Amino acid sequence: MPPRVDAERLRADFEALSAIGATADGGVERPTFSDAHLEARAWFLERARAAGLETRVDAAGNHSAVLPAGARTLLLGSHLDSVPDGGRYDGALGVVAALEVLRSVHDAGLALPVTLEAIDFTDEEGTLVGLLGSWAVAGSLPPETLAAPRGGRDALVAGLARVGLEESHLADARRDPASLAGYLELHIEQGPVLEREGVDIGIVTGIVGSRSFRLMFTGASGHAGTTPMEARRDAGVAAAAFVVAARDLVVRGYPGCVVTVGSIAFEPGAFNVIPGRARLALEFRSLDSDELDAMEAELLDLAGAQGVEVEVEPVGHWEATPLDAEVQAAIRGAAAALGLSTRDLPSGAGHDAQALAAVARSGMLFVPSQGGVSHSPREHTAWEDCVNGANVLLGAALALA
Ligand SMILES: [Zn+2]
């Protein structure tokens, strides 16, 4: 019989955590360094102490429960911050499950050759920076990101001051890669695949890379009543045609990849004026860097083929992150020992594992998200699936330890 977590204790903790920053519609709101976020972090350390575990807070504000053993550390983690008006499960499930794994190992008196650490990474969701804590641990917090963080400089400076963190010392949170035995994260899928296929556990093969561009189409504005259809260079029509053609291109030529035009604005923007300009926000994702290169070339060619001028401004560039094969095998083995079904799948969303993968063998397992809904108060995972995930996390951690 494989060892199992204490499902009742896990549930009591999950419910207690869900009450911190709870919103009226059943979700949570815990943006980085808000009162609710700090209360959740304090609660986490308190629960760790109550279980007889050690605690630590590093120079990037990452909060940890530690079960000390060998010199090397196997990290199990996720995040307690949330998006505004978020759900209870995103991040939180991974942290309470990691804590429960440490308690289960501690209670069973198992002597492991590695230290186990349940870690709550700072600012995963990007209220301030995004993956702030995990990039710091990996030693790769980009200075240009801190100079122009997505939440703005003022919010970053004020947030760090609020919790007594020094920007100049964030990098001190770096861990020596030789000290890390690996990184494992349980997370909800945030997509519909596992539920649709009736699969218990998703084994994450990698985290997709993404590229984003601002496109500006320039035609000619003119009178909407007096300019004949054949005489127009309508930037709006060109942009709309591009949106549809881009979708068709990716659906036909790039199975498993996604492309999105998330924003489109016509100028000057009036009933009676032909749009002279159209601005688009283009983003596409793939698990394969060569595929990203190919999509970029084809999509930008397509933008240039709409009969108007196009200007292209690169905005974001995230490399795809393959996850470790040995960790995937450990997850597969742990699930099989529990009689749970598995499926390999990529993660379309970013996670702390993409930062850790550069310095330690890293992996993730997903449990089903009801309706694929996430970043919403309607986010839900059946409790049985949460327990399954925690048990697989425990089994995989023991295998890797
Ligand atoms: Zn998350």
182-222 per-position pLDDT tens digit: 999 999 999 999 999 999 999 999 999 999 999 999 999 99
**7-207+321-400 matches 209-318 in fold:** no
Distance in Å, CA 243 to ligand 1 centroid: 29
- How do residues 228-281 score in pLDDT, each as one tens digit? 999 999 999 999 999 999 999 999 999 999 999 999 999 999 999 999 999 999
Kind and range of the H or E element at 397?
A: helix 383-400
Gap from CA of 305 to ligand 1 centroid (Å): 38
CA of 295 to the centre of ligand 1 (A): 27
Kindly state the average pLDDT of the residues 160-174: 97
Euclidean distance between CA atoms 331 and 382, whole angstroms: 20
Cα 5–chain centre separation: 25
pLDDT of residue 2: 83
Which residues have C-beta under 5 Å from ligand 1, the single-atom ion? 90-91
pLDDT tens digits, one per residue of 345-389 = 999 999 999 999 999 999 999 999 999 999 999 999 999 999 999
Architecture per CATH, 209-318: 2-Layer Sandwich (3.30)
Q: Which residues contact 118 (CB under 8 A, 6 or more apart)?
A: 48, 64, 65, 66, 76, 77, 95, 98, 99, 101, 102
Q: Measured between alpha carbons, how far is 157 from 217 in angstroms, rounded to an integer? A: 37
| CA of 273 relative to ligand 1 center, distance in Å | 44
Q: What angle do the packed helices 92-107 and 7-18 form, to 10 degrees?
A: 140
Domain boundaries, the chain: 7-207+321-400, 209-318
Question: pLDDT tens digits for 273-321?
Answer: 999 999 999 999 999 999 999 999 999 999 999 999 999 999 888 889 9
Measured distance CA(47)–CA(228) in Å, rounded: 72
- The dihedral region occupied by 123, where left means phi > 0, alpha psi between -120 and 50, and beta the remainder, is left
Distance 70 CA to ligand 1 centre (A): 29
CATH superfamily of 7-207+321-400: Zn peptidases (3.40.630.10)
In the reported structure, the alpha carbon of residue 297 is separated from the centroid of ligand 1 by a whole-number distance in angstroms of 31
Compute the distance from residue 94 Cα to the ligand 1 centre, in Å.
8
CA distance 223 to 46: 68
> Tokens 């839900």 belong to which residue?
380
Q: What integer pLDDT is reported at residue 144 of this predicted model?
A: 86
Record the pTM.
0.89
The CA 31 to ligand 1 mean position distance, Å, reads 12
Strand residues in 254-308 grouped as ranges (E)? 258-267, 273-274, 277-286
Distance 374 CA to ligand 1 centre (A): 9
CA–CA distance, 206 with 306 (Å, rounded to integer) = 35
113: buried, middle or exposed (CB in 10 Å: 19+, 13-18, 0-12)? exposed
Residue-wise pLDDT tens digits, 98-132: 999 999 999 999 999 999 999 999 999 999 999 99
